[in-house]
Structure 1
Amino acid sequence: MHPTASLVIVVLVAFRVIQCSLSTTRPKVAVSCVIPNEVQAGICVPPGDCPAFQRINEIGELSSTGRISFLRELYCDIDADQSGVCCPRNSLLSYRQPTLNESLPRRDRTVFATRFGENDSFQCGDSSMINKVRGGKIAAIDEFPWMAMLLYGPSNAPGCGGALISSSFVITAAHCLVGKNVQDKGNLKFVRLGEYDINRDPDCMVEGNYEDCTDGKQDVKPKRVIPHPEYSSSQFSQHHDLGLIQLERSVSFSDFIRHICLPPMAESVLTSPGTKYNVCGWGRTNFFRAGLGGDSLSPIKLKTTLPYFDHGECQEIYRAKKLSLGSGQLCAGGQKADTCAGDSGSPLMFFDRKEGTWLLTGVVSMGVKECGMEGMPGIYTNVGQYVSWIKKTANV
C-alpha cells in the first residue's frame, strides 16, 4: 500500500474515534422547569449544583408546611435516571418567595377512604390515588402508606422501620426484634403508622389549591414479635434477618395507612440486572445541609431509588469483610447517592407497572455505615424466598 494511502486511512480512523468521543461527551440539553411563585422558568440541576436550594434546605427552616411543600415542588427530572431541583438560571439569585400558601381549604378525602365499599378490602400495594408519585427525595404525604416506624424503650425512640402487610401484621428485620440491637434500644413499645413528619401531628402538605392533611399518626402496641426461626443474632452474616410483628389490634385502612403486596414466590424479574427499587423511611441522611448530624434521623419521610446490584459481585465485595451472603439475601445500591432513606427493617420496594401495585422485594438488613459509598451496596433480606413462611405465620 502506498504510504500516502496509509496516512489517509490513519487520519480517517483517528477522525472517527474523535467524532465518537465527542458524541459521547456532548453536554446534555438543559431542562427548563417551573419555580413556584416566579414568572421566569428555572433550570433542572442536581441539588448540590444549586446554591439557592442549599440556602433554603436547612433543617431549622422546615417547621412550616409551606416550606416543605415548596421544596417538594422544586423537584424535577434531569433525565430518566436522575432527579434534580429547579434552580434560578442565574445561580447567584435566591428564590423570591420560598414557601407556599398554607391558608387553603383542606382536601376532603372521605370519598377516597371508602371508595372500595364498606365490605371490601383495600387493594394491597396501592399508594396514592390523589398525589402522583414524583421524583426527588422528600416523599409525598400519602406516598408509601404501609411504612411503619418502630418505637423503643421508655422514651419511645425511633429505632427501626417496617411495612404493614395486613391489617394486623408488620414485617421488619429480625435484628429489630431480638439480639443486641434491641437490648441497647430497650423493648419494642409501639408500632407507629400514618407518620410523615415526626415533629407535627397531624401532618399537612400543600397540593395544588388544597392543603392535604393526614388523619394523624397511630401508635399500636405489639401483641407478639416473631423472628424467623432460623435467624441467629450472633451470626455475623445475618442470614434469615426477617421478622413479623402481630399488632395488638387490627388497624383501619385509609389513604395514609395501607398494606403492601407480598411478591410472587421466586419472581426472578424482581432480582435481575436493570431492576430499580425504592426505599423509604426516616433513616440517616445528609439530605439536609445543616442542623443534623451524620447519624441523625430525618424528621421527614424520605425516599430514594436504588439499582439491583449483581449478587456475585456483592459476594466478592463482602467476602473481603469476612461476610458470606446466602440465597435469602440480595444487594442493591452501590452508587453515589446523598440519602440513606431506609432504616433497618424498612421495605425495599418494586413497582409492578403492569398491575399498578407496589411489591415488597426486600427488607433493609445491613450495609456500610456511611451513606452513598460508591461500589458498596446494601444488603437486604430477599422477601421472595420467605413468602411461604410469611403467609403461614401471618395468615395472609
Structure 2
Amino acid sequence: MGSEKDVFVGAALVFVALISQSEGIIGGREAAPHSRPYMASIQRPEGDGLKHECGGFVIADQWVMTAVHCMPNGANGRKVVLGVHSLSQPEDTKQTFDILEHNLYNHPRFSIDTFDNDIALIKLDRPFNASEAVKAVEFLRSGGVNPTTDDEVETAGWGSLNNLEARPDKLKEVVVKMISHGRCSRSDYFGKKVTSNMMCAHKKCSDPCDQPYPVEDSCDGDSGGPLLYNGVAVGITSKGGKKCGQLKKPGVYTIISHYTEWIDRTMGVQPAAAGGQES
C-alpha cells in the first residue's frame, strides 16, 4: 500500500491533468506572424485596456464573421482588432474598430441550448486598410464542397491556456481532421445537440504524444474563429470550449455554406442566380 505522500502526489497529477484538458488550441503551434491576415481578435473592455474574448475573421471590406455566442446580448463596448499577432506587444499592423450596436448582426434563430445557427456578422465602423497583415479570406458558399470524414482542416486562435483563463500572447494554429456527423451525434459524443448545421473535427495526438491530452483541438477563446479547408473558410468555431482535448468531445463548427442567403441579405450583396440554402 502506498504512503500518504504517494496518494497526495497521485491526486495532484490527476488535478493537473484535468486542468490540461481546458487548454486553448490543444497541441498545434505558434503561427508565423501575420500568416493568417484574416484573423480578428474580438476584445472586451477591462480596466484601462482591452482583453481578448473571441476570434473572428475578415470576409469582405468592412465585414467580420464570428459566432453569436460571443456577443449574444450585444457588443457592450467590445472592439475588433485586426492585423494582430501578439496581443500584448505594440504592432504597427494593428487596426482597432468599434462595434456599433446596430452593426452587429446575430443570426435571429440562434439557439442557446444547442448553439444551432451560431453565426454572426460585424460591420466595422469604417473600412480597414488592406495590407499583408489585414485582408479577407474566401468563405464557402451554397453549392460548394465541404470537407468530409478524415479530411484535414485548419483553425487558429488565442484560446485559453487553463481553467484560470490564462491566454497565449501570440496566435496559435492547428491542423485537425473531420469526424463524421454520424459519430459526432452519437449519444456518447454530443447526441442531439449536434444539428445538421454543424460539423466536428479534432485529431488524435501522434504517437509518441508529447502532450497530456489525447487529441489536438480548438477550445475556449477560439470561438468565432475560422475552420479552413484548402484555404477557404468552411466553418466557425462554435462549441470548442467545455470539453477540450477529450476523444469524444471534438470541436464543433457552424457550417458557413448553409447561410449564404442570410449572409448576402445582411451584407446587402446581390444574390447569385442560383438560390442558396437558408437556415
TM > 0.5 fold call:
yes
Which of 193, 212, 233 is residue 360 of structure 1 equivalent to?
A: 233
Q: How does 1:67-82 map to 2 (within 5 A)?
A: none
Residue 249 of structure 2 corresponds to residue 376 of structure 1:
yes
Partners of 1:331 and 1:229 lie apart in 2 by: 23
Quote the residue 1:112 is aligned against: none
- % identity of equivalent residues: 27
| Residues 301/250 of structure 1: CA separation in 2 closer, same or farther (3 Å cut) | same
Partners of 1:366 and 1:265 lie apart in 2 by: 23
Residue 36 of structure 2 corresponds to residue 144 of structure 1:
yes
**How many residues align structurally?**
229
Which of 203, 222, 225 is residue 346 of structure 1 equivalent to?
A: 225
Quote the residue 2:150 is aligned against: 274
Whether contact under 8 Å (1:166, 1:259) holds in the other structure is yes
Quote the residue 2:89 is aligned against: 200
Quote the residue 1:243 is aligned against: 120
| Residues 294/303 of structure 1: CA separation in 2 closer, same or farther (3 Å cut) | farther
Unaligned runs of 5+ in 2: 1-26, 205-213, 270-279
Residue 112 of structure 2 corresponds to residue 258 of structure 1:
no
Whether contact under 8 Å (1:349, 1:362) holds in the other structure is yes
For 2:244, the aligned partner's letter is C
Whether contact under 8 Å (2:184, 2:190) holds in the other structure is no
Q: How does 1:1-396 map to 2 (within 5 A)?
A: 137-155=29-47, 156-179=50-73, 187-202=76-91, 215-223=92-100, 224-233=103-112, 236-268=113-145, 270-285=146-161, 295-317=165-187, 323-333=192-202, 335=204, 336-337=214-215, 340=218, 343-351=222-230, 358-367=231-240, 369-396=242-269
Q: Per-residue deviation at 1:369?
A: 2.4
Give the superposed CA RMSD: 2.3
Q: Say which structure, 1 or 2, has more relative contact order (CA 8 Å, 6+ apart).
A: 2
For 1:389, the aligned partner's letter is W
Partners of 1:249 and 1:272 lie apart in 2 by: 37
Partners of 1:391 and 1:152 lie apart in 2 by: 28
Q: Per-residue deviation at 1:275?
A: 1.4
Quote the residue 2:273 is aligned against: none
For 1:151, the aligned partner's letter is Q
| Residues 330/321 of structure 1: CA separation in 2 closer, same or farther (3 Å cut) | closer
Mark the structure with the bigger radius of gyration. 1
1:171-200 alpha-carbon deviations (Å, 9 max, x no partner): 000111214xx7xxx824210000101121
Partners of 2:40 and 2:53 lie apart in 1 by: 11
Whether contact under 8 Å (1:317, 1:376) holds in the other structure is no
Partners of 2:67 and 2:81 lie apart in 1 by: 16
Whether contact under 8 Å (2:176, 2:216) holds in the other structure is no
Helix, strand or coil for the counterpart of 1:165?
strand
Whether contact under 8 Å (1:276, 1:305) holds in the other structure is yes
Partners of 2:117 and 2:198 lie apart in 1 by: 8
Unaligned runs of 5+ in 1: 1-82, 84-135, 203-214, 286-291, 352-357
Quote the residue 2:11 is aligned against: none
Whether contact under 8 Å (1:334, 1:373) holds in the other structure is no
Whether contact under 8 Å (1:284, 1:339) holds in the other structure is no
Helix, strand or coil for the counterpart of 1:386?
helix
Q: TM-score, normalised by structure 1?
A: 0.54
1:212-261 alpha-carbon deviations (Å, 9 max, x no partner): xxx3311111132100121133xx11110110111100111100000010
Whether contact under 8 Å (2:199, 2:254) holds in the other structure is yes
Partners of 2:120 and 2:88 lie apart in 1 by: 28
Q: Per-residue deviation at 1:148?
A: 0.4
| Residues 370/258 of structure 1: CA separation in 2 closer, same or farther (3 Å cut) | same
The structure richer in helix per residue is 1
| Residues 340/230 of structure 1: CA separation in 2 closer, same or farther (3 Å cut) | closer
Q: Which ranges of 4 or more aligned residues in structure 1 deviate by more than 6 Å? A: none
